[in-house]
């Protein structure tokens, strides 16, 4: 039988994952008919999608060539990624 790790209960109230869990639980309580798709924490039980893998390979290849190397990005990120 699964049980909650006591250390989980000691996390500060502003810890992101515990806050997400509290809000989701409250919403489910108020909306039992709701079909919730969780996008808050992620699912580490499934492999990366092929499109993500290809994009990461392409980005690494780009950073590996002097003519396309970018170094550290601007503070607010690259405009082409917005």
What span, in angstroms and rounded, lies between the C-alpha atoms of 46 and 79?
31
Residues of the chain with pLDDT under 70: 13, 40-42
Give the pLDDT confidence score for residue 28 in this predicted structure.
94
* Contact call for residues 61 and 69 (beta carbons, < 8 A): no
- pTM of this prediction? 0.44
H/E run at residue 45: none
Give the pLDDT confidence score for residue 56 in this predicted structure.
94
The label of the residue with tokens 């893998």 reads 53
Give the pLDDT confidence score for residue 66 in this predicted structure.
95
What span, in angstroms and rounded, lies between the C-alpha atoms of 60 and 26?
42
Counting every residue written for the chain, the total comes to: 82
């Amino acid at each position: 039988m699964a049980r909650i790790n006591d250390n989980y209960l000691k996390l500060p109230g502003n810890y992101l994952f515990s806050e997400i869990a509290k809000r989701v639980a409250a919403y489910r309580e108020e909306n039992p008919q709701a079909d919730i798709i969780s996008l808050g924490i992620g699912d580490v039980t499934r492999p990366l999608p092929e499109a993500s893998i290809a994009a990461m390979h392409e980005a690494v290849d780009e950073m590996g060539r002097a003519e396309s190397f970018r170094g550290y990005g601007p503070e607010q990120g690259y405009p082409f990624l917005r």
